[in-house]
């Protein structure tokens, strides 16, 4: 290798490091908005808009620490002056243990109902970053043409058992919030749902019940995730649904249509910005990302460089949520 080639490679590596440092800083600022410091592996998987190897990431992190662009405390990386977040994260990890155990227990009960293909834990609890009085956010995957029949059954069951969280409830600790339903037909999310927020939601969701490996199918059906998070795990490639249980017969389809239209009629006056279709139900009326990006722009991170939505799995503190009026719970229907 000639001296000119060595110099060229050196310049190229420095340019890569500069680009990578910008992405690292964006990633840390993003998580900082939610009071959540990151480990090196978490930075790698959540790296916004840049692909890197572990070696490149380690080198760039070390350079950024030397330049005092970021700080490292123990195994966690964070912004300057944010060392206190380490203690907050460790406390929340401990507080999440009991609620996680409850989530697994309740999931084992819900999984006994027919038509359910998978149950995922989402939200802050999926990251072991919840407060002791948090609710339990679950995503339900049902068989095709069974979503609204399943939701009808689960709503009655959770209501009867006192497990269902209601909007504006004073006490929600350990309550179930079934705020997202999908079927194999809706694995590929619509374009207006393809954002940084949803990309994080998909890679961070924890399968509590998934005998059909729907998580791999979800990732494979949404390759756009890598336009936001290039280092995120991939699915196994195009996956068919031949291994899934067969759909309903004429009677089952009729029951499904009745359940869909009855629930839609009941919800009609309460629906704001929720996405409701025969194959999907997104009960997130408030856009958490708009407020998140406003906060990020105040920290020097241009909102246009990110998606229009915020990061899941790292919820702001309860006080911050109340101050912002945020809500992502299932409507009271």
Site of tokens 């374009």? 191
CATH class of the structural domain 3-82? mainly alpha
Bridge partners of residue 116, in order along the sequence: 142
Q: What are 84-133's pLDDT values in tens digits?
A: 999 999 999 999 999 999 999 999 999 999 999 999 999 899 999 998 78
pLDDT of residue 329 exceeding 90, the answer is no
Structure tokens given for 209: 């019940």
pLDDT of residue 239 exceeding 70, the answer is no
- The pLDDT, as a whole number, for residue 274 is 73
- Of 144, 138, 137, whose CA–CA distance to 117 is shortest? 144
Provide the 3-class DSSP secondary structure of residue 280.
strand
pTM reported for the whole predicted model? 0.82
Confidence of residue 245 (pLDDT cuts 50, 70, 90): low
Burial class (CB in 10 A: 0-12, 13-18, 19+), 268: exposed
Check if the beta carbon of residue 165 is closer than 8 Å to that of residue 191.
Answer: no
Q: pLDDT exceeding 90 applies to what percent of the chain?
A: 59
Confidence of residue 15 (pLDDT cuts 50, 70, 90): very low
Q: What are 254-269's pLDDT values in tens digits?
A: 999 999 999 988 888 7
Check if the beta carbon of residue 140 is closer than 8 Å to that of residue 154.
Answer: yes
Q: How far, rounded to the nearest angstrom, does the alpha carbon of residue 299 sit from its chain's CA centroid?
A: 23
- Between CA 167 and CA 332 the distance in angstroms is 6
- Between CA 115 and CA 161 the distance in angstroms is 20
Q: What are 132-169's pLDDT values in tens digits?
A: 788 999 999 999 999 999 999 999 999 999 999 887 77
Name which residue leads in pLDDT, 139 or 316. 139
Domain boundaries, the chain: 3-82, 88-324
- The pLDDT, as a whole number, for residue 198 is 85
Name which residue leads in pLDDT, 157 or 329. 157
* Beta carbons within 8 Å of 331's beta carbon, 6+ residues apart: 167, 267, 270, 271, 274, 283, 285
- The pLDDT, as a whole number, for residue 132 is 78
């Amino acid at each position: 290798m000639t001296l000119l080639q060595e110099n060229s490679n050196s310049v190229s590596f420095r340019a890569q490091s500069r680009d990578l440092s910008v992405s690292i800083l964006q990633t840390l600022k993003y998580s900082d908005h939610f009071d959540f410091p990151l480990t090196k592996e978490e930075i790698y998987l959540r790296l916004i808009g840049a692909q890197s190897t572990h070696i490149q990431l380690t080198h760039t992190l070390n350079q950024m620490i030397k330049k005092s662009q970021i700080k490292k405390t123990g195994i966690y990386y964070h912004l300057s002056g944010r060392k206190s977040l380490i203690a907050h994260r460790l406390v929340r990890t401990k507080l999440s243990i009991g609620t996680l155990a409850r989530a697994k227990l309740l999931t084992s009960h819900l999984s006994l109902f027919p038509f359910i293909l998978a149950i995922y834990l989402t939200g802050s609890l999926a990251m072991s970053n919840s407060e002791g009085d948090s609710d339990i956010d679950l995503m339900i995957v049902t068989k095709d043409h069974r979503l609204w029949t399943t939701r009808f059954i689960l709503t009655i069951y959770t209501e009867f058992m006192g497990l269902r969280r209601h909007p504006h409830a004073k006490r929600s600790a350990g309550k179930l919030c079934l705020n997202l339903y999908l079927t194999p037909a809706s694995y590929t999310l619509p374009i207006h749902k393809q954002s940084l927020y949803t990309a994080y939601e998909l890679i961070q969701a924890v399968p509590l019940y998934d005998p059909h490996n729907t998580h791999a199918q979800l990732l494979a059906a949404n390759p756009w995730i890598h336009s936001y998070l290039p280092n995120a795990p991939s699915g196994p490639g195009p996956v068919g649904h031949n291994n899934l249980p067969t759909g309903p017969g004429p009677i089952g389809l009729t029951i499904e249509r009745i359940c869909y239209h009855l629930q839609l009629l009941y919800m009609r006056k309460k629906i704001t910005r929720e996405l409701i279709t025969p194959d999907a139900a997104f009960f997130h009326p408030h856009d958490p990302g708009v407020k998140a990006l406003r906060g990020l722009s105040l920290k020097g991170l241009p909102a246009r460089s990110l998606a229009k939505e915020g990061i899941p799995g790292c919820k702001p503190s309860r006080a911050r949520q109340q101050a912002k009026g945020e809500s992502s719970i299932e409507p009271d229907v």
